[in-house]
């Protein structure tokens, strides 16, 4: 196993410095397999732009065939004329070559000039490439949020363990004092029993907190590739939403324009429309520039003796293709695609509603964040003042050991609740930025750069 200092260096952490959220994200981007999947999908999507361009380029094909061939022709009612022979009507010609070697070759070029179906295919491929870009952005932001959630889970688990260990020390101290005072006859035995019970309960809570921390560290290690046994993160962040939030309509407009999920769904609707366009009336009509050349040769013996056939053809011009009847397949396919387009449009409307609801909820929670934090901070100060007063009262005999233990528990709970609230609001801001397509590395850096020092 690596020594601790080597593991810390592997994390980019030295001394008392702990990794921040931006470092965790940068490690996750390199390590998490989901990013490798998303990157491969995005790179595959980019090739569709080249495919769209290639639809209108010329295509050239060559064919060569050879082997045992046979041919028999019979022509009647022909007119034959030749110098010195005059003209003979109703002449018949018969040729035959059996099982002889023959060969043919052909080469042709085609360049599309007009094709509504091909135009729709090209637009669809370009939209698919755009969709791959948006899916990449969505995957990147999803991993950012997941990394932040796991990172702050470790931070809160560290805080919880630290507070419980501090409380454990205080309870054990109270237990020793209770035993000493009972031995001196200055306190009842119930104080000793209450302190002992609380000490054992705190021991169990510390063990549970250690397990929770290990689980949180393992989850973050799986995402970042960092060694879990040396993993350290910054403490829970301070409240970042000190500046007034922009008005809700601004966030809703931004979400409607830039939310990755909505952009994906919008592109899906456009792709569905191009699918329909491929099967619209007249979309199958094509105009192509064509050039062809071919030659076929066969020689050998047959029913009428030795014979040979040679045919050569070439063509340079325009080819027009108009589908007249396809058995109803195109119209049936078009009806199917029209229904799929309606489905995609309905899904877009549903997604818009959901994103608006999520954006509104996140904004409202952040809007109340400053007041909630202020109230929780006041509760922490009050619980700390109560603890100080209870400690003094315990020294002069006005408060019992149970009163002191309860005050210590309440103060620790208030401190942990404040850390949880700050973390919740920080994650809420990151979610709001993701909903509006604005989550980036700068936001991750800001989320921990002002974190308070651990006490």
**Per-residue pLDDT, 171:** 86
**Per-residue pLDDT, 2:** 38
pLDDT in tens, 152-194: 999 999 999 999 999 899 888 888 887 877 787 777 788 788 8
Determine, yes or no, domain membership for 11.
Answer: no
Determine, yes or no, domain membership for 72.
Answer: no
Determine, yes or no, domain membership for 7.
Answer: no
Determine, yes or no, domain membership for 264.
Answer: yes
Instruction: Give, to the nearest 10 degrees, the angle between helix 21-31 and helix 189-224.
Output: 50
Determine, yes or no, domain membership for 341.
Answer: yes
Determine, yes or no, domain membership for 418.
Answer: yes
CA 28 to each of CA 153, 171, 444: distance values in angstroms, whole numbers, following the listed order: 16, 40, 13
Which residues are registered as beta bridge partners of 311?
A: 296
Q: Which residues of 241-280 are buried (b: 16+ CB within 10 A; e: fewer)?
A: beeebeeeeebbebbeeebbbbbbbbbbbbbbbbbbbbbe
Nearest partner of 32 among 104, 105, 139, 121, judged by Cα: 139
Question: What is the average pLDDT across 40-44?
Answer: 92
> What 3-state class would DSSP assign to 108?
strand
Q: What is the distance between the alpha carbons of residues 24 and 218, in angstroms, rounded to a whole number? A: 13
**Per-residue pLDDT, 18:** 65
Does the pLDDT at position 5 exceed 60?
A: no
Does the pLDDT at position 13 exceed 60?
A: no
Question: What is the average pLDDT across 425-444?
Answer: 92
Q: What is the distance between the alpha carbons of residues 172 and 422, in angstroms, rounded to a whole number? A: 30
Determine, yes or no, domain membership for 363.
Answer: yes
275: which 2 tokens? 């699918």
Q: What angle do CA 417, 419, 425 make, to 5 degrees?
A: 100
Determine, yes or no, domain membership for 4.
Answer: no
List alpha helices for 184-245, DSSP H.
189-224
262: which 2 tokens? 């909505």
Its pTM stands at 0.79
pLDDT in tens, 361-380: 999 999 998 889 889 999 99
Least confident among 88-92, 103-107, 128-132: 88-92
Tally of domains within the chain: 1
**Enclosing domain of residue 47:** 21-62+96-448
CATH at residue 303: 1.20.1600.10
Q: Average pLDDT, whole number, for the chain?
A: 85
Q: What is the distance between the alpha carbons of residues 413 and 26, in angstroms, rounded to a whole number? A: 33
Q: How many CA atoms lie within 13 A of 401 on its CB side?
A: 27
% of the chain surpassing 90 pLDDT? 51
**Per-residue pLDDT, 270:** 95
């Amino acid at each position: 196993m690596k020594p601790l200092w080597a593991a810390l260096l592997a994390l980019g952490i030295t001394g008392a410095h702990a990794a921040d959220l931006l470092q965790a994200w940068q490690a996750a981007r390199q390590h998490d397999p989901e990013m490798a999947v998303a990157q491969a999908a995005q790179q595959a999507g980019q090739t569709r732009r080249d495919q769209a361009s290639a639809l209108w380029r010329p295509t050239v094909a060559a064919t060569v065939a050879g082997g045992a061939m046979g041919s028999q022709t019979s022509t009647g009612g022909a007119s034959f004329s030749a110098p010195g022979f005059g003209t003979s009507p109703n002449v018949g010609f018969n040729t035959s070559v059996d099982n002889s070697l023959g060969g043919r070759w052909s080469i042709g070029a085609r360049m599309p000039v007009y094709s509504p179906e091909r135009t729709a295919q090209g637009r669809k491929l370009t939209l698919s490439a755009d969709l791959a870009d948006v899916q990449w952005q969505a995957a990147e932001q999803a991993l950012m949020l997941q990394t932040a959630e796991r990172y702050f889970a470790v931070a809160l688990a560290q805080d919880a363990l630290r507070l419980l260990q501090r409380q454990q020390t205080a309870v054990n101290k109270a237990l020793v004092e209770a035993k000493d005072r009972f031995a001196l006859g200055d306190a009842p035995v119930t104080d000793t029993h209450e302190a002992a019970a609380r000490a054992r309960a705190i021991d169990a809570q510390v063990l549970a907190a250690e397990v929770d921390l290990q689980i949180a560290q393992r989850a973050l290690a799986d995402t970042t590739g960092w060694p879990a046994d040396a993993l350290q993160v910054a403490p829970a962040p301070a409240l970042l939403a000190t500046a007034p939030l922009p008005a809700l309509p601004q966030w809703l407009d931004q979400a409607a324009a830039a939310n990755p999920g909505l952009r994906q769904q919008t592109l899906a609707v456009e792709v569905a429309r191009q699918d329909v366009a491929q099967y619209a009336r007249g979309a199958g009509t094509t105009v192509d520039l064509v050039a062809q050349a071919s030659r076929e040769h066969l020689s050998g013996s047959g029913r009428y003796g030795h014979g040979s056939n040679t045919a050569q053809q070439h063509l340079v011009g325009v080819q027009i293709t108009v589908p007249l009847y396809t058995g109803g397949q195109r119209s049936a396919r078009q009806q199917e695609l029209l229904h799929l387009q309606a489905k995609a449009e309905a899904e877009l409307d549903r997604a818009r509603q959901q994103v608006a609801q999520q954006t509104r909820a996140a904004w409202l929670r952040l809007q109340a964040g400053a007041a909630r934090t202020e109230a929780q901070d006041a509760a922490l100060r009050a619980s700390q003042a109560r603890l100080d007063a209870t400690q003094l009262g315990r020294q002069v005999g006005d408060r019992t050991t149970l009163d002191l233990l309860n005050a210590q528990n309440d103060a620790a709970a208030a401190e942990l609740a404040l850390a949880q609230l700050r973390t919740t609001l920080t994650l809420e801001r990151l979610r709001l930025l993701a909903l509006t397509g604005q989550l980036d590395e700068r936001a991750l850096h800001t989320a921990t750069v002002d974190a308070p020092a651990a006490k």
